[in-house]
Amino acid sequence: MDELKVVKSSCRMCHGGCGALVHVKDGDVVKVTGDPDSPMNKGRLCPKGAASIELLHHPDRLKYPMRRLGARGEGRWERISWDEALDSIVVKLKEIIEDLGAESIGIGQGTGRRHFDYVVRFANALGTPNWCEPGCAQCFIPRLNANMLTLGMPFVPDYFGEVHPQYVLAWGHNPLVTGPDGEIQFTLRDSIERGSKLIVVDPRLSETAQKAEIWLQLRPGTDDALALSMLNVMITEELYDREFVEEWTSGFDQLSERVERYTPEWAEEITWVPADQIRLAARTFAQAKPATLDWGVAFEHTPNCFQTARAIAMLPVLTGNIDVPGGLITGMLPMGIFPYLAERLSEDARAKRLGADEFKVLGANGVSLPMPAAHIPAMLKAMRTGEPYPVKAFLIFGSNPLVTYANPREVLESLAALDLLVVMDIFMTPTAEMADIVLPAATWLEADGVQGYPIAVDVHVFAQQRVVRLWESRQDEEVMIELARRLGLEAGTEPLEEILDRRLKGLGLSFEQLKDRGSVSVPLAYRKYEQMKMFLTPSGKVELYSSVLEGLGYDPLPYYEEPPESPLSTPELLEDYPLILITGGRVPYFFHSEHRQVPKLRRRHPDPIVQVHPETAGRLGITEGDWIWIETRRGKIRQKASLTEGIDPRVVHVEHGWWFPEEESPEHGVWTSNANLLTDNGPPYDPAMGTYQLRALLCRVYKT
Ligand SMILES: Nc1nc2c(c(=O)[nH]1)N[C@H]1C(S)=C(S)[C@@H](COP(=O)(O)OP(=O)(O)OC[C@H]3O[C@@H](n4cnc5c(=O)[nH]c(N)nc54)[C@H](O)[C@@H]3O)O[C@H]1N2
Ligand SMILES: Nc1nc2c(c(=O)[nH]1)N[C@H]1C(S)=C(S)[C@@H](COP(=O)(O)OP(=O)(O)OC[C@H]3O[C@@H](n4cnc5c(=O)[nH]c(N)nc54)[C@H](O)[C@@H]3O)O[C@H]1N2
Ligand code: SF4
Ligand SMILES: [Mo]
């Protein structure tokens, strides 16, 4: 019998960020605990992290590569070898490249996984501009790009230094549950314990809103109006940091002129938030020193998201909370930029990116980000119709589009039209059931990687290490490298370890050395713009008036726009659909469509829950625990009612990500409770990002 060995790694049941101790005996993992030495989680794990081992050993995992038998989506499979799987994929890809060009191959991936950058790299090496992720237009990238354009760098709340924020403005965000992008839920929790107070902007009394000093319960989808009116208060009441604004920003006068019309009284009508509350929040935030912004995904689910992100980003700018202790901090970036191989993608290929002509900030055009992405609705259309050119193959590395993309019926139709669908996943999902070939993916306990946290700022760099390998699973990066080799590509073929070592060079470490240490931290440096004597924007200032947006033909200043389906935009729908629908507020036990098959987690949250105000429920004869229909113009689903005073009587909230692994193959109940049967992926989109509307829609609810 082997000795018990304890290995340092980093959990990846979400976007990651928690240091973990993996206890290994006789070649298998026997326990996973939080690493007490980890600067991020200090020994703690959330329920998902604590269930890692159940996921690892789950009997329903995909164990071998498989090829479909019979018709697509019939649910019959045969086991094949990795060689057979990879060779048959390569044969088909070569055929497509020869006939139509590499752009006819689409590559999909899910949200912020360990292998995120490698997918972009593989697409570049292959020569296709058409990779996508359900988050590119809908999650994180709008915020990231708004930061890049306005400030020249990504910024995150400083929960990591000696000074803690006096106030945290949590906007459309429930970080005590979600803690995305390696900010993890524990960092805010610790900050609250050290005395931080909260202002929370959320239509629901979320776990985070429950801790708030000031809770702004806005009408869903009106974040732009609220942010603009807070800017109005800060400017008209001269609450801004005059010195910072004068020295380090450009366009303040134009901004002042723009927001003049957006008074708190104007905003009250639109947002439902009383004008005096808006004033209180703006004054409190402006007078707190330091104060930080912790923003979330909620406003990226409506089509004015980019200008909304710009407006919200200006709140900490005007109050001088940029790159100061306890405010917002920016990149140490000790690993430099990932080797994306962007130079491999020809101008010609770049121009063919689906959506590139229309959505100029969805990716790199005009913005210094090396990861342009395809527009998902355009990609689906190319699969279905061959317009503007056909997409014939789709390789998915860890995403579940039938559940997580808007309009899953159209997704199904699009996937069904492909010549080749490959899905690499840990489980047989409803999407994987549509594939020609499925590939078994390694869980985080079976994979090597390095990741800086918080993502895009990299204060702490963690190793994730492969401690076991069950069945025939492989990690996604290895598969992409192997495909590149078999396709005879000129780049993207080096072994993974070589890239991991290269990434750590600037830190003076090899991957082997980082594995021993678990993580390294870089000292925090503040006010880097003073040393550089500039922000990394074209004018060298924080661009309140964005020269880049102006150059691209967009409004250089933020503005208000109603969501396309709302009580104000489509009042004619109110008679049939009188309630406002929000979808996808996260729950602690699942990550999107994952983990419904993990008993320890599912027991804690067995059913999809729709939240309804008791007054609304009473009127409709709905009682606690009833299964009810939620219906929009596009479809209807069932979820189980939970009555709560913590939501406005005019608003209901459904969970996203639901399918039922325990139900019959191949559908696994994907059409029963899937929130995206209610959403739409059609226009109008955010003009800069191509964002579609996942929240703030109109619906009705009734008993089943
Ligand atoms: N209505 C509505 N829809 C939404 C949202 C919402 O709020 N409301 N949120 C949106 C947002 S913000 C996002 S980011 C997207 C997320 O969308 P997705 O990323 O598509 O969501 P997941 O359910 O996480 O899908 C990931 C799949 O990858 C598998 N997987 C996990 N780890 C690995 C791995 O290492 N390798 C491989 N190959 N597979 C792996 C999982 O088993 C799962 O099947 O959903 C979006 N959809
Ligand atoms: N446990 C768990 N953690 C996760 C995930 C998960 O699936 N499960 N997903 C990860 C991913 S990819 C993401 S993007 C993040 C998302 O994490 P967050 O950014 O925290 O987003 P959500 O929980 O979707 O929504 C946050 C809050 O927004 C509110 N909201 C809804 N509509 C609006 C609106 O119009 N305006 C405003 N201001 N608020 C609104 C909701 O009521 C909710 O409480 O979480 C990450 N972490
Ligand atoms: S917050 Fe994320 S990284 Fe931390 S334990 Fe939970 S799942 Fe793992
Ligand atoms: Mo996301």
Q: Looking at the CA of residue 13, tell me the nearest atom of ligand 3.
A: 7
Highest mean pLDDT among 178-192, 221-235, 369-383: 221-235
Residue 184 has pLDDT above 90, yes or no: no
365 pLDDT band, cuts 50/70/90, is very low
Q: Which domains does the chain have, with CATH numbers?
A: 66-137+346-444+472-495 (3.40.50.740), 141-332+528-552 (3.40.228.10), 571-703 (2.40.40.20)
To test ligand 3's pocket by mutation, which of 12, 35, 184, 592 has the most ligand atoms within 8 angstroms of CB? Answer: 184
529 pLDDT band, cuts 50/70/90, is very high
- Residue 248 per-residue DSSP state: H
In the predicted model, what is the mean pLDDT of residues 8-25?
A: 96
Euclidean distance between CA atoms 474 and 81, whole angstroms: 12
Residues touching ligand 3 (Cβ under 6 Å) are 11, 13-14, 16-18, 41, 45-46, 48-49, 179, 184-185
**Measured between alpha carbons, how far is residue 522 from residues 162, 198, 331, 453, 464 in Å?**
14, 28, 10, 11, 18
pLDDT for 367 equals 47
**Is there a contact between 516 and 465 (Cβ–Cβ < 8 Å)?**
no
- Please report which ligand is nearest the Cα atom of 110: 1
Report residue 522 as tokens. 């870089």
Distance from Cα 564 to the centre of ligand 2, integer Å: 21
Residues touching ligand 2 (Cβ under 6 Å) are 14, 111, 139, 171-175, 177-178, 180, 201-204, 206, 218, 220-221, 223, 296-299, 582, 584-586, 588, 590-592, 695-696
**Is there a contact between 232 and 262 (Cβ–Cβ < 8 Å)?**
yes
455 pLDDT band, cuts 50/70/90, is confident
Candidates 612, 633, 634, 608; CA nearest to 702 is: 612
Euclidean distance between CA atoms 436 and 395, whole angstroms: 10
pLDDT for 323 equals 97
180 pLDDT band, cuts 50/70/90, is confident
Q: Looking at the CA of residue 591, tell me the nearest atom of ligand 3.
A: 7
Residue partners of 61: CB distance under 8 A and separation at least 6: 426, 427, 440, 470, 471, 473
Residue 364 has pLDDT above 70, yes or no: no
Euclidean distance between CA atoms 396 and 375, whole angstroms: 15
pLDDT for 366 equals 42
Residue 351 has pLDDT above 60, yes or no: yes
- Mean model confidence pLDDT for the chain: 95
**Is there a contact between 398 and 425 (Cβ–Cβ < 8 Å)?**
yes
To test ligand 1's pocket by mutation, which of 140, 302, 397, 425 has the most ligand atoms within 8 angstroms of CB? Answer: 425
Euclidean distance between CA atoms 303 and 108, whole angstroms: 22
User: 215 forms bridges with which residues in the sheet?
Assistant: 200
Tell me the percentage of the chain whose pLDDT exceeds 70.
99
- Residue 474 per-residue DSSP state: B
Q: Looking at the CA of residue 185, tell me the nearest atom of ligand 3.
A: 1
Q: Looking at the CA of residue 15, tell me the nearest atom of ligand 3.
A: 2
| Residue matched to tokens 């314990």 | 193
In the predicted model, what is the mean pLDDT of residues 294-308?
A: 96
Output 234 or 458, whichever has higher pLDDT: 234
Q: Looking at the CA of residue 426, tell me the nearest atom of ligand 1.
A: 42
| Residue matched to tokens 């918080």 | 454
Report residue 225 as tokens. 């109006």
- Tell me the longest C-alpha to C-alpha distance in the chain: 74
Distance from Cα 113 to the centre of ligand 1, integer Å: 9
Helices (H), 288-364: 305-318, 347-351
Euclidean distance between CA atoms 198 and 408, whole angstroms: 37
Distance from Cα 170 to the centre of ligand 2, integer Å: 11
pLDDT digits (tens, 9 = 90+) for 258-282: 999 999 999 999 999 999 999 999 9
Candidates 358, 366, 459; CA nearest to 683 is: 358
Residue partners of 340: CB distance under 8 A and separation at least 6: 117, 120, 121, 124, 370, 371
pLDDT for 159 equals 93
Euclidean distance between CA atoms 126 and 426, whole angstroms: 25
Burial readout 184-199 (b: 16 or more C-beta within 10 A, e: otherwise): bbbbbbbbbeeebbbb
Residue 23 has pLDDT above 90, yes or no: yes
Euclidean distance between CA atoms 414 and 428, whole angstroms: 19
1 pLDDT band, cuts 50/70/90, is low
pLDDT for 335 equals 87
The DSSP annotation for 5-38 comes to: EEEEEE--SSS---EEEEEEETTEEEEEEE-TT-
pLDDT digits (tens, 9 = 90+) for 399-436: 999 999 999 999 999 999 999 999 999 999 999 999 99
Distance from Cα 171 to the centre of ligand 2, integer Å: 10
Residue partners of 530: CB distance under 8 A and separation at least 6: none
Report residue 183 as tokens. 């900010």
- Residue 428 per-residue DSSP state: -
pLDDT digits (tens, 9 = 90+) for 621-636: 999 999 999 999 999 9
pLDDT for 370 equals 57
**Is there a contact between 215 and 209 (Cβ–Cβ < 8 Å)?**
yes
